[in-house]
Amino acid sequence: MTPAEHETLEFIDAVASGVRESAERGEPPRIEFPVRSLANVSYDPAKGWLEIGDARKSRALTVRTVKSFAQTLRLMAVSRGMVEDDDFATKREAYYVSKNWGECRFDEQPESDAIMDDVEALASLHGLSREQLRFYPEAHGGSVVGPLVVVDRDTETGAAIEIDCRSLGSGAYTIPRSVEHLEFRADADFILAIETGGMFQRLNHHRFWRKARAVLVETAGVPTRATRRFVRRLSDDTKLPVYCFTDCDPYGFANIYRTLKVGSGNAAHINRFFCVPKARFLGVTPRDIVDYRLEDATHPLTDTDVKRARDALEHDPFFAAEPDWVAAIERLLAMGVRAEQQALAKWGLNFVIDTYLPRKLRDEGSFLP
């Protein structure tokens, strides 16, 4: 068992012991959880992620809470068993496992999800992620190619396995759901997180990663937890910078990039594990639309785009702290259009490889923060 696994068991045992000791003293057992609402979230640029605050809610054992109290303990017991057996469960599976719990079974998955989120938030205060509790996300991560060797192990035999992300032909490496155990050997200058599969495929087909010495990661829209944790661990371990390459639209800025860099507001208790504070935004920027004369390859901003942009300006603590982003988003709103990564194909399918990316990479100072 690894030190991290011991920590997980100690955390579970400590909560369970507290409950038992209260009961033995004749007091109603009680567990305190962090409040998981936006009101209890703050952003400190020095830390670099949206963080959960100090507000706590208390779940005491009463007639009214007996079912959810029991469910909380049983879910933690499932977690304990999975650490011991080197197993795991998706949220969906955890819900189904409860069908054998008799009276305290979950009726619907939102019930088990809410309790799992509470347990996860509590564990996060002890530096433990949901993956360490052995509850894995349903979605795996994006695809990876480039000068990177991922060191994994066979889950059955324990034998070391090396995956060379240069040797996957036209295919790619799929990031697994949990990446805690991976090790990395990179021979690269930076990590490039790419929004669309089409662009990833083009850069891979033409071996952009070889010329540019870059690890390419396809986020396929908003990066999943597994993708975010993979980029975070990879960049921490290798000290490589992370550049983000999305469409020029509020979704690319405020959903994809913001989530990758500082996390999301409604899961603030996990951002410290998942965000990539050193990420920077390479493009496509509103200025690129002008500089690369893409005006006739743009689309008008939709109402949703405009709403998303205004929300970012008015309510998002990350953008509020970055004047360059405020200026960029205001410029986009004034232009009234958005441009996709693939709009660069107006100048030829490989303009992005031959001209756009090399020119961008020579001028890192132009990246948005």
Looking at the Cβ atoms of 6 and 153, the one nearer to a copy of itself is: 153
Q: What's the one-letter identity of residue 48?
A: G
Taking CB under 8 A as the criterion, the residue among 197, 221, 241, 277 binding a copy of itself is 197
Is residue 347 a contact residue for a copy of itself (CB under 8 A)?
yes
6 to 45: interface string for a copy of itself, x by CB under 8 A: ----------------------------------------
Residues 6+ apart with CB under 8 A from 247: 195, 196, 284, 338, 339, 340, 341
Report CA 341 to chain centroid distance, whole Å.
Answer: 22
Q: Which run of H or E residues covers position 183?
A: strand 183-186
Angstrom distance (rounded) from CA 185 to CA 257: 25
Q: Which is nearer to a copy of itself, 101 or 278 (CB)?
A: 101
CB of 73 to a copy of itself, least distance (A): 19
Among residues 43, 49, 136, 273, which is the contact residue for a copy of itself, using CB under 8 A?
136
Q: Which helix (H) or strand (E) holds 124?
A: helix 109-124
Q: Is-catalytic flag, 96?
A: yes
Cα angle 245, 250, 251 (rounded to 5 degrees) comes to 70
Tell me the window of 4-12, 25-33, 190-198, 271-279 that interacts with a copy of itself (CB under 8 A): 190-198
Shortest distance, CB of residue 136 to a copy of itself, whole angstroms? 7
The tokens for 238 are 């290798």
185 is a contact residue toward a copy of itself (CB under 8 A):
no
Among 23, 66, 161, 327, binds a copy of itself (CB under 8 A): 161
Give the bridge partners for 339, in sequence order: 248
Catalytic choice (96, 136, 243, 292): 96
- Report the run of H or E that residue 1 belongs to, with start and end: none
| Tally of residues, the chain | 369
Bond from prior residue into 284 cis (ω within 30 degrees of 0)? yes
Q: Are 189 and 333 in contact (CB under 8 A)?
A: no
With tokens 């893409």, the residue in question is 294
β 56-60/214-218 pair status: unpaired
Site map for a copy of itself, 262-301, x if CB under 8 A? ----------------------------------xx----
Both structure tokens of 237: 């371990």
Of 178 and 259, which has the nearer Cβ to a copy of itself?
A: 178
Residue 181 in contact with a copy of itself, rule: CB under 8 A: yes
- If the CB atoms of residues 30 and 206 are measured against a copy of itself, the closer one turns out to be 206
**Footprint of a copy of itself on this chain (CB under 8 A)?**
82, 87-90, 92-93, 96-97, 99-100, 136, 138-140, 143, 150, 152-156, 161, 163, 167-178, 181-182, 196-198, 201-202, 204-207, 210, 296-297, 340, 342-350
Which positions are annotated as active-site residues?
A: 96
